[in-house]
Amino acid sequence: MKRLNDLLERIIQRVNINLREPLFDVGPYVRDLVPLNQLTKFYAFYGITPYHPLNFHFTRSNLAGSYFLGKCQVSDSILYKSDIRGDELKRKGDIFQCEGFDIPLHEDETIRIKDSYLIKTLVHNNSHDPENLEDFIIQNTVSTHYANIHGSEVEGCYMGPFSTVDLTTLHDCVIGEFAYLQVSELAHHQVPAGTIWISGGDQFEFRYQHDPENLKNYIRFEPGTRPQGIFIDFVENRKDDFRRVFDVVNLETPSSIPSGASLNRYAVIKPKTQIGQNVLVAQRAYIENSWMGNGANAQENCYIIDSRLSGNNVTAHGAKIIGAELGEKVFVGFNSFLQGSKEFALRIGENSIIMPHTIIDLTEPVDIDASYLVWGYIRKQSDVEENSMALSELASITGQHSRSRMHFKGNGDSFVKGFQHRIEHILEANGAYFDGTGKKGHAQSSQNISYNLIQPYPEGDFKGLYPTIDIQH
């Protein structure tokens, strides 16, 4: 146990050195956040398929709950119940396009995690930094509950609960809780909680700032305490279902799964759930009493409860959909929280885009028209007008436009087309369009993952740490 505590202090020191500007001490946030004894109670595991190059190296690391589906090097890090998903890493010979350059990869890309503390964090996709194409770097970083590091290199950073860094390279930054960033590159910056910031360079910029007082009801995190609020209560109230999934080695699977669909071994699928063709349900997703139409997907840490998804729906990492009916090809962004009920129905029309980190928590029924962009905070129908816009209207904007707490500038058509292109890419990559022989994606290639377990040292100075292991094929 002594070595585990020494490792934690080493990580805190390394991160704090990087965060001299802005001046930020991660120690009060992470010391005692997870009792050290808790870190000894779980096994680590990694997945193997025929489709992913296997090369793992672990050194003095606590790897509880992690799964690696590609190359990963880990040194002196604590990855507690985190999901390190390497199935979209670039391969040797791939061409990376950036600002008119076609850059070939000279070797397979590898995730490198060093001197970092990732608590219930998802690391996924691949590096989008043209200067480090073969290395997806997570270094000297603390990331707290249910944060997403999606295609983003992070060096010397702190990420608050339910924050997301998406397709961005961060250097020495502090990201507040429930903040979402997609800004290409950022250094020495402190991003307030509840900020949604998307920048397409000279093309466009979208910004929204959640009201801090409203946001505190959903997520707040003070030094020396655990994260609190509606979001945390929501997931904590369902953690017993995941305990069974992780405690049982051979878990029965639903019998009525179409041949092109995939339900991850470590997802929770509750009764009265209908699974359509080419559906993908990822690790730690939770589905209850819901209809998953053909081609729909639920990514890591998603919750879909008492809802109907018509088909080809994208529910991005960490999003939650409760008591809602979604038309075809509705996109629900990272960590969004959509909560209707039998009394207060939520209906969203086809081809609509729910922006990342949107909160819809209803006190009356709400209908959202087809082909709308939705953001912000919605409780009732009158909130929709100031927190949404028809995609056609947005596409016509050139210049600046503000609506309540949302501010947009640039070319609206580029923004809309970029989002729509990304949604199509996600559907294709997830195998939503699989026709029985062609257009395979994750839903098909993930059907036969085998999992291997690793146990930590059970006692002594090394208690809670894992042995150094080098795994190759």
Domain 2-234+448-472 has CATH 2.160.10.10: yes
The whole-angstrom separation of Cα 70 and Cα 90 is: 10
Confidence of residue 42 (pLDDT cuts 50, 70, 90): confident
Beta bridge partners of 320: 303, 337
Task: Please count the helices (runs of H) and the strands (runs of E) in the chain.
Answer: 9, 48
The whole-angstrom separation of Cα 39 and Cα 11 is: 16
What is the predicted pLDDT for the residue at 58?
85
Quick one: tokens of 285? 């997703």
Residue whose C-alpha is closest to residue 357's, from 381, 377, 386: 377
Residues of the chain with CATH 2.160.10.10: 2-234+448-472, 238-396
The whole-angstrom separation of Cα 158 and Cα 142 is: 5
Question: Over 80: is that where the pLDDT of 253 sits?
Answer: no
Q: CB-hemisphere CA count at 13 Å for 79?
A: 33
Residue that the structure tokens 């509750």 belong to:
270
The whole-angstrom separation of Cα 180 and Cα 194 is: 8
Question: Over 60: is that where the pLDDT of 269 sits?
Answer: yes
Q: How far is CA 227 from its chain centroid?
A: 18
Convert the pLDDT of each residue in 54-86 to its tens digit. Answer: 888 888 788 877 888 888 998 888 998 899 999
What are the start-end ranges of the E strands in 54-179?
Answer: 55-59, 71-75, 78-80, 83-84, 95-98, 101-104, 110-114, 117-119, 122-124, 135-139, 142-143, 148-150, 154-155, 158-159, 164-166, 169-171, 174-175
For residue 271, cis peptide bond before it (omega within 30 degrees of 0): no
| Amino acid found at 145 | H
Convert the pLDDT of each residue in 406-439 to its tens digit. Answer: 999 999 999 999 999 999 999 999 999 999 889 9
CB 408 within 8 A of CB 397: yes
Mean pLDDT, residues 342-364 taken together? 98
- Sign of the dihedral through C-alpha 424, 86, 435, 280: negative
The whole-angstrom separation of Cα 426 and Cα 421 is: 9
Q: How far is CA 467 from its chain centroid?
A: 28
The whole-angstrom separation of Cα 279 and Cα 266 is: 16
The whole-angstrom separation of Cα 437 and Cα 167 is: 31
The whole-angstrom separation of Cα 162 and Cα 227 is: 10
Beta bridge partners of 390: 372
Q: What is the mean pLDDT of the chain?
A: 93
The whole-angstrom separation of Cα 399 and Cα 383 is: 25
Higher-pLDDT residue of 243 and 365 is 365
95-98 and 101-104: which strand pairing? antiparallel
Question: Over 70: is that where the pLDDT of 7 sits?
Answer: yes
- 238-396 CATH fold: UDP N-Acetylglucosamine Acyltransferase; domain 1 (2.160.10)
Q: For the residues of 285-304, what is the DSSP string, one character each?
A: -EEES-EE-TT-EE-TT-EE
44-48 and 450-454: which strand pairing? antiparallel
What is the predicted pLDDT for the residue at 251?
59
